Amino acid sequence: MRKRHAGLGDRVRAWWDTMPLMRSFFLYAAACVLVSIVASLLLMATFMSAYDVLQRKAWEGHVDVEGGPYIYDAQEDELVPAFTIDLSTTDRIVFLGLRSETPYEQKPVDYYGGSLYNAETGAPIGYATLEMVRDDPSLTIFDWGGNYTEQDYLETNGHPYVSTTIDAADLADYDARERAERVAVDGEFLSLEQANSDFIVSNVGYYVSQYDSMLETPLMFALRVATGLTPFVMLVVLSIMFFRRFYRRRIGVPLAIFCDVAGRVAHQDLDFVTPKVPGREFSQLGTAFEKMRASLEESQRELWRTAEERRRLNAAFAHDLRTPVTVLKGTIEMAQMRAARGEAVEEETLRTLGGQIERLESYAQAMSGIAKLEDRTVERAPVAAGAWGAELRRQAQDYVSAARPELGFGVDMQGVPPQAELSVDRSLVEEVLGNLLSNACVHARGRVAIAMRLDDERGLLMLRVSDDGDGFSPEALRCGCEPFFGEAKDAEHFGLGLNIVQTLTRLHGGTVELANADAGGGVVTVTFDVGKAA
**Domain spans of the chain?**
17-58+218-260, 64-215, 299-375, 377-529
Q: Which of 102, 131, 66 is nearest to 198 (CA)?
A: 102
Question: Domain 299-375 falls in which CATH fold?
Answer: Helix Hairpins (1.10.287)
Average pLDDT, the chain: 81
Q: Does the pLDDT value for residue 333 go beyond 70?
A: yes
List helix spans (H) across 408-472: 426-443
Please state whether the peptide bond connecting residue 69 to the residue before it is cis, i.e. omega within 30 degrees of 0: yes
No. of helices (H) and no. of strands (E), the chain? 14, 16
pLDDT band at 228 (very low <50, low <70, confident <90, very high): very high
Q: pTM here?
A: 0.49
The predicted structure's pLDDT at residue 1:
44
Q: How many CB atoms lie within 10 A of CB 77?
A: 11
Write out 89-137 in H/E/C secondary structure: CCCCEEEEEECCCCCHHHCCCCCECCECECCCCCCEEEECCHHHHHHCC
∠ at Cα 162 (160, 165), nearest 5°? 150
The predicted structure's pLDDT at residue 272:
84
- The string of pLDDT tens digits covering residues 192-221 is 677 677 888 899 999 999 998 888 889 999
The predicted structure's pLDDT at residue 398:
80
Considering only 163-167, 354-358, 449-453, which range has the smallest mean pLDDT?
Answer: 354-358
Pairing outcome for strands 447-455 and 408-415:
parallel
Q: Does the pLDDT value for residue 445 go beyond 60?
A: yes
Q: Does the pLDDT value for residue 520 go beyond 50?
A: yes
CA-CA-CA-CA torsion sign (184, 187, 192, 198): positive
Q: Does the pLDDT value for residue 175 go beyond 70?
A: yes
- The string of pLDDT tens digits covering residues 455-480 is 888 888 999 999 998 888 888 777 66
The predicted structure's pLDDT at residue 488:
54
pLDDT band at 371 (very low <50, low <70, confident <90, very high): low
The predicted structure's pLDDT at residue 322:
55
Q: Which of 211, 209, 208 is nearest to 70 (CA)?
A: 208
Query: Which CATH class, in words, describes the domain spanning 377-529?
Result: alpha beta
Please tell me the number of Cα atoms within 13 Å of 195 on its side-chain side: 6
Q: Does the pLDDT value for residue 237 go beyond 90?
A: yes
